[in-house]
Amino acid sequence: MKADPRGVLTGVHFLDGDHACCEGALAAGCRCAFGYPITPSTEVVERIAQRLPTVGGVFLQMEDEIASSIAIQGAAWGGKKVLSVSSGPGISLMMEHVGLAAMTETPCVFVNVQRAGPSTGLPTLVAQADMMQARWGSHGDYEVIALCPNSPQECFDLTVQAFNLAEIYRVPVMFMMDEAVGHMTERVVIPAADQIEVVERRRPAEPPSDTYALYRCEPGSRVPPMPPVGEGYRFHVTGLTHDERGYPVMNAEAQDRLVRRLVDKIRLAGPALERYEEYQVDDADVVLVAYGITSRVVQRSMQLARERGLKVGVFRPVVVWPFPERRLRELARQVKAFVVAELNLGQVVLEVERLACGTRTVLAPHAGGGLHAPEAILAQVEEVLR
Amino acid sequence: MSERINPVEPFLRMDRMPHIWCPGCGIGTVVNCFVRALLKTRADLNKVSVVSGIGCTGRIAGYFRVDSFHTTHGRSLPFATGLKMANPELNVWDFSGDGDLIAIGGNHFIHAARRNADLKVVCVNNFTYGMTGGQVTPTAPLHSLATTAPYGAFEKPFNLPFLADSSGAVYVARWTTYHVRQLTRSMEEIMTKPGFCFIEVIAPCPTAYQRRNRLGDGLEAMRYYKANSKVVHGADTRSVDIDLGGPIVVGKFVDRDRPTTLEAMRDELQKALGGKYVPYPTGVNR
């Protein structure tokens, strides 16, 4: 399906990542948003507050992030495409409801403009240290989808994709921006509405009846269709472990059946969820692995290395969770080493190390508050190749 | 002779019976009164949604045969707010216990009332956390006993009608589970009243509260409510505190009108944006 032209600001713009993310949400069909101010993500909700009333939507600033993160879920069941936006401490407060969305299979997008922590940390400065929180920050077993844009243009493009993936898989999608990408201003091209693919919510094919089951999947599918509220399905939604009808069931069998499906619908999605980019990996001895803003820094490191005659490539996961596993395993068989650069002291590197199966994997750490110097990453490449 | 069906049954998920509530619990009475109100007002059940948080009262959502949502502890009101904002034609009811709505959810409560979210909120106040076995809540009367107040509660409790009134609720009433007709009548009144409507229902928890405080069983609670309740419609909500063993002032205390969140939003946006504003439904006919 094509985007609703009302929400699409077609044209060539000069936007920062935060504003581009807002435009992506509107283009994707988001018509209901709830938020709470926090640096460096405030600009997203400011623009949403300004824009939504002009495209037929509603925005409400809630009393805190806890309220925002569950108000969007009420609105999702109310039939809307929804998002909430936050950063650092606000994202921590939202975590319980990431779990609720996973458990109740509520499609929603959580935008996290990452700043340095822990706790209040560096409110105005960049980090990429919420990657593991994005994956498993709520209690219990579940899987999410997490995307990492590296430019304002991608903040637009990938926000549209984030909404589409939320509808297809009925999971919370974590949109993992960072302060640098959020506050960086660049050219953003917003296509015409008929050039933007949006995924509409899949409704049950069957009419309301006494035998309707809220979480019954069609054969071969792990994602049930989602009924609209107010049309007679009279369904029950609960955060408790539940059966196909949505009714609470308190035993190990029901737990296994439900949680296994919630996890498998993402873990077994395969190529459908693979999004990555790679540069000069064909002859590479060393592949630099980076995402978000750092994936731009390592481009320079690669360039410097190539100038010195070193065979260095770049692998950039765009969807970081689930990690593009198949491709990384392939690369692991052909390269001498991976150097993983991220603005934390070692998070995604653990996943790379696991998939590298013995191929040397080295972390280029940075605690956040600034970006890596490309030369520092280069030095690590040289060290690895020595 | 045809089999007689309890008129309440079609409104409930009978395939989920028996329910989890203890004998003598007041929550079932609230469920009954709500069904009677739905019957009386001939509410369109497809458009009624029930939202709850966590706890004994939180289980109400699971037994109503309407679109129903059992959310997280304390957060039923922001969920309900989102639901109503997204789909203003819904008639959204929130049933919550005192710990759920007022302790962990207290901040959401005052803000939902302040912004006049168009929600019908029923708080079953049994002065305790029943599901976890009888801990002290912010409404527990001074000196009452709880597992986490083993020597007596020493904090001043919230007076819920005053809290709702001063936060901006457009309708505030209090009844006990003895007052089934009055409670049903209040529910009928707010069925179609726009804005944040609040009913406190004083209810017995024989298992976790009555017994520990030597207040007898459910029937004893009814006798107590009957003997000690005083109906004062329009009472100043500042004067309706509840003391252990003392009188309970009941009645309809507040009934006024002001724009709901969506109405106020519409008016403000229309004024500021003029033709650029794309009208959004309010769900209110006025």
At A180, which CATH number? 3.40.50.970
Quote the distance between the C-alpha of residue A272 and its chain's center.
15
Same domain, A162 and A296: no
Same domain, A37 and A176: yes
Instruction: Dump pLDDT digits (tens) for B80-129.
Output: 999 999 999 999 999 999 999 999 999 999 999 999 999 999 999 999 99
Summarize the confidence of residues B138-163 as an average pLDDT.
98
For B153, list phi and psi in degrees, rounded to 5. -70, 135
Residue B228: enclosing H or E segment and its boundaries?
helix B218-228
Partner-chain contact B16 A247, CB within 8 Å: yes
**Residue of chain A with shortest Cα separation from B63:** A236
Is residue A257, in this structure, part of any structural domain at all?
Answer: no
Is residue B95, in this structure, part of any structural domain at all?
Answer: yes
List of chain A residues whose C-beta atoms are within 8 Å of the C-beta of residue B89: 230
Task: Give the max Cα distance, chain B.
Answer: 66
Q: Specify the 3-state DSSP secondary structure of A68.
A: helix
Is residue A256, in this structure, part of any structural domain at all?
Answer: no
Partner-chain contact B71 A70, CB within 8 Å: yes
**How far away is chain B from the Cα of A238, in angstroms, using its nearest Cα?**
5
At residue B1, does pLDDT exceed 70?
no
Q: Is B24 left (phi over 0), alpha (psi -120 to 50) or beta?
A: left
* Percent of chain B whose pLDDT exceeds 70: 99
Is residue A163, in this structure, part of any structural domain at all?
Answer: yes
CATH number at A365 reads 3.40.50.920
**How far away is chain A from the Cα of B98, in angstroms, using its nearest Cα?**
18
The tokens 């107040």 sit on which residue? B149
Is residue A227, in this structure, part of any structural domain at all?
Answer: no
Minimum-distance CB partner of B83 among A56, A78, A97:
A78
Closest by Cα among B53, B69, B64 to B28 = B64
**Residue of chain B with shortest Cα separation from A101:** B71
Closest by Cα among B91, B85, B107, B118 to B257 = B118
pLDDT band at B138 (very low <50, low <70, confident <90, very high): very high
pLDDT band at B2 (very low <50, low <70, confident <90, very high): low
Partner-chain contact A56 B280, CB within 8 Å: yes
| Sequence-separated (6 or more) residues with CB below 8 Å from residue A239 | A99, A100, A103, A104, B70, B71, B72
Summarize the confidence of residues B147-176 as an average pLDDT.
98
Partner-chain contact A74 B111, CB within 8 Å: no
Same domain, A187 and A306: no
pLDDT at residue B66 in the model? 97
Q: Are B123 and B86 in contact (CB under 8 A)?
A: no
Q: Is B265 on the interface with A (CB under 8 A)?
A: yes
List of chain A residues whose C-beta atoms are within 8 Å of the C-beta of residue B103: none
pLDDT at residue B4 in the model? 86
Instruction: Dump pLDDT digits (tens) for A89-107.
Output: 999 999 999 999 999 999 9
Q: Are A102 and A262 in contact (CB under 8 A)?
A: yes
CB atoms within 10 A of CB A327: 17
Is residue B281, in this structure, part of any structural domain at all?
Answer: no
Q: Return d(Cα B171, Cα B218) in angstroms, integer.
A: 28
- What number of C-beta contacts closer than 8 Å exist between A and B? 149
pLDDT at residue B167 in the model? 98
The reply to whether omega before A40 is within 30° of 0 (cis) is yes
Is residue A222, in this structure, part of any structural domain at all?
Answer: no
Partner-chain contact A74 B82, CB within 8 Å: yes
Is residue B238, in this structure, part of any structural domain at all?
Answer: yes
Partner-chain contact B280 A234, CB within 8 Å: no
CATH number at B177 reads 3.40.50.970
pLDDT at residue B257 in the model? 98
Give residue A75's domain range: 5-195
Is residue B3, in this structure, part of any structural domain at all?
Answer: no
Average pLDDT across chain A, whole number: 98
**Residue of chain A with shortest Cα separation from B10:** A210
Give residue B133's domain range: 9-276
- Of A151, A176, A195, the position where a domain reaches its end is A195
**How far away is chain B from the Cα of A49, in angstroms, using its nearest Cα?**
11
Is residue B285, in this structure, part of any structural domain at all?
Answer: no
**Residue of chain A with shortest Cα separation from B105:** A67
Summarize the confidence of residues A306-329 as an average pLDDT.
98
Is residue B59, in this structure, part of any structural domain at all?
Answer: yes
| Sequence-separated (6 or more) residues with CB below 8 Å from residue A224 | A105, A170, A214, A215, A216, A217, A218
**How far away is chain B from the Cα of A8, in angstroms, using its nearest Cα?**
15
Instruction: Dump pLDDT digits (tens) for A279-296.
Output: 999 999 999 999 999 999
| Sequence-separated (6 or more) residues with CB below 8 Å from residue A211 | none
Same domain, A283 and A150: no
| CA geometry: angle B109, B112, B115, nearest 5 deg | 145
Same domain, A159 and A11: yes
Instruction: Dump pLDDT digits (tens) for A247-270.
Output: 999 999 999 999 999 999 999 999
Is residue B284, in this structure, part of any structural domain at all?
Answer: no
Is residue A85, in this structure, part of any structural domain at all?
Answer: yes
- Give the total number of structural domains in chain B: 1
List of chain B residues whose C-beta atoms are within 8 Å of the C-beta of residue A62: 78, 81, 111
Q: Return d(Cα A44, Cα A16) in angstroms, integer.
A: 10
Is residue A64, in this structure, part of any structural domain at all?
Answer: yes
List of chain A residues whose C-beta atoms are within 8 Å of the C-beta of residue B16: 247
- Give the total number of structural domains in chain A: 2
Is residue B242, in this structure, part of any structural domain at all?
Answer: yes
Is residue A226, in this structure, part of any structural domain at all?
Answer: no
- Of A195, A229, A255, the position where a domain reaches its end is A195
Q: Which residues of A212-245 are buried (b: 16+ CB within 10 A; e: fewer)?
A: bbbbbeeeeebbbbbbebbebbbbbbbbbbbbeb
**Residue of chain B with shortest Cα separation from A248:** B62
Summarize the confidence of residues A3-19 as an average pLDDT.
97
Partner-chain contact A75 B47, CB within 8 Å: no
Q: Is B71 on the interface with A (CB under 8 A)?
A: yes
pLDDT at residue A265 in the model? 98
Partner-chain contact A231 B46, CB within 8 Å: yes
Q: Specify the 3-state DSSP secondary structure of A198.
A: coil
pLDDT at residue B286 in the model? 85
- Of A175, A195, A215, the position where a domain reaches its end is A195
Same domain, A148 and A290: no
List of chain B residues whose C-beta atoms are within 8 Å of the C-beta of residue A238: 61-62, 69-70
Q: Which of A9, A50, A201, A237 to mutate to test the interface with B (most CBs of B within 10 A)?
A: A237
Q: Are B280 and B262 in contact (CB under 8 A)?
A: yes
Partner-chain contact A247 B13, CB within 8 Å: yes
Q: How far is CA A94 from CA A65, A97, A350, B122, B140, in A?
A: 6, 6, 25, 26, 30
pLDDT at residue B55 in the model? 97
At residue B3, does pLDDT exceed 80?
no
| CA geometry: angle B211, B214, B219, nearest 5 deg | 70
